[in-house]
Each structure stands twice: as structure tokens, then as C-alpha cells.
Homo-oligomer: A and B are copies of this chain.
Amino acid sequence: MNKIAIAIHGGAGTILKSSITDEQETACKKTLQKALRVGYAALEKKKTAVEAVELAIIELENSPLFNAGKGSVFTNMGTHEMDASIMEGKELNAGTITLVHNIKNPISLAKLVMEESEHVMLGGEGAMEFAKRMGCNFEESSYFYDEYRYQQWLEAKESNVVQLDHTTIKNNKIGTTGAVALDVFGDLAAGTSTGGITNKKFGRIGDSPIIGSGTYANNLTCAISCTGTGEFFIRGVVAYDVSCLMEYKNLSLIEACHEVMHHRLVKIGGDGGLIGVDPNGNVAMSFNTEGMYRAYKQSDKSEVIAIYKE
């Protein structure tokens, strides 16, 4: 069987060992492991990289621990606005959605945009209408209610701070989710799903639904999913930058990810991380923050699940 590989992330940021209880750490790792195993099992069953990415992200969206789907943070209006995107590397098809609410699994909606619409990106109430026609799963707002996220929001509101999901007022913030995969057919895919930033106003859109910035996949180079302060990832066109460094400068995946995360993004002041996989099944997990919730598994190798810097 050809090589397969999957990598996932649950956000990068100021994650200090000292500020997380053992219980929190265990819960997060367990959810990461579950998502990883679901995705890897799909690849083993010869499902496509797109399917594996969707399935892994659904697990993270369904957990209250991560800032996507059920665990999405509160906006300034006390609502949940979610963004997601997915891209496949064979034909360079992509689907992305922004400013949706009450959708149980935004990543699945992004996939439907890619596969069932003539467009790449849908937003707002129009995207909701599309979701209804496609028969997506909707959830009441109470499904997205989480006491911890609510307290986080109240604090942010009080201090009038637009807060990144992973910055520190409280200490166990967990962020944006994403996955990248290489399937048995040699195809790559990447996906990202997020609730954005706590107390966000004005319909702020980050990099997660932006093809080229938060998500990119191309069988010639790599599949990438990003997490961090989205504004910098947009300005740096980060995901596609990794691909271009590989395609145009012949850098390896690891080298390209390092160059982007530790030099190019830093130059404009950006913080965060990314995960990547290349057509040979190599995996990169690069971040310039204290930690990144992450996990990966490659053919015939052990699972790796980690949070802090090694």
C-alpha cells in the first residue's frame, strides 16, 4: 500500500505547562487522539484525503474543547460565527464558508460548497440558505453554549478586548482546528475550521476561510492548515507561501514551513503555527508560539500527540 499520513491541530498560542491542569491536558490529548485515529482509519480504508480531513475535523468540531463547531467562542453580540475551508490537491478544488452560525459541522458545509456548488466561497445568510438546501445539520444556539467560553467572553467584553481564542485572560484557551492528509491515491487535502476570536466585532473574518492564507493543498507540493492571529496569516498569504517556497525554490516541506513561520511571518509580527504534509508523507508541525495542540500519524509509525515545544 502507498504511504498515508494525517496531521491535525487544535490551535497554537500561549500554552504553558504550568497553566494547564493535568485533567485539561489529558482531555485535550484524548480528543486529539480520537480525531487522529478517525482520520487515519479513514485513510487506511482507502477513503480520500478530503474525507479523512473532514472526519478528523468533525471530531474536533464536536468537542467543546476546541474553538470550532460546538466549542466556538462568543462574538461581541453573544453569538457564534464560524468559518471553515477545505481544499484538495489534485484538481485544486476548494470550498469555504464564512460568517455562518448554528451549523453543527462547518467543515462539512465547506466540503459541500466545494463539491455541490459552482462557487468556492459562500458567506453569511446566503451560505446558511445553501446549507439548508443541502440538508446540513443545524443546532440550536444552546448547543454552542459553553460556560467556560461564556465566562471568557464576559471577561473580554468587560475589558473591551477583542481576544484571540488562544491569548491569555484565562489559561486554558484552545484554538482553531485543522487537518491535512495524504491518501493512498497520492492525493493531498487540507481543511481548517474555527469560531474565530472571542468578542469579535464587525463581522471580522480571519484566515481560516481564506484559500492561500489559512488553507491550501496542491499535489505538487503540500497540504497546509494554519492557526494563529489570522490577520497576519492573511497578509502573509501563509499557506500558499509554503507551497511556493517548495515549488519555486525547491525547499523541502520542513524547510519551507520553518522559513515561513520563523522568518517571514515573524517579520510582519505574526504569531501562530501550521501543519503540513507532502506527497511523500512527510509531516511538518511548525509554530512560533509557546505551544500548539497537535498530532500526527504516518504509515507504519507511531502516533505523535503533543502540546508544548519539544
Residues of A within 8 A of B (CB): 87, 91-94, 98-99, 117-127, 129-130, 162, 201-206, 210-213, 216, 230-231, 234-237, 240-241, 244-245, 248-249, 268
Contacts and interface: CB of A to CB of B under 8 A. Distances in A.
Contacts of A99: 99, 123-124, 126, 203
A268 B130 contact: no
B237 A130 contact: no
Contacts of A123: 98-99, 123-124, 203, 205
A156 to B, nearest CB: 13
Nearest to A131: B202
A41 B134 CA distance: 51
Given A123-B124, A212-B213, A248-B249, 10 more contacts: A98-B98, A119-B231, A121-B234, A124-B124, A124-B203, A126-B201, A129-B203, A211-B213, A212-B212, A216-B237
* Interface class of chain A by DSSP: mixed
Contacts of A213: 211-212
A121 B240 contact: no
Given A91-B268, A211-B210, A213-B211, A121 B204 contact: yes
Given A212-B240, A244-B241, A268-B92, A203 B234 contact: no
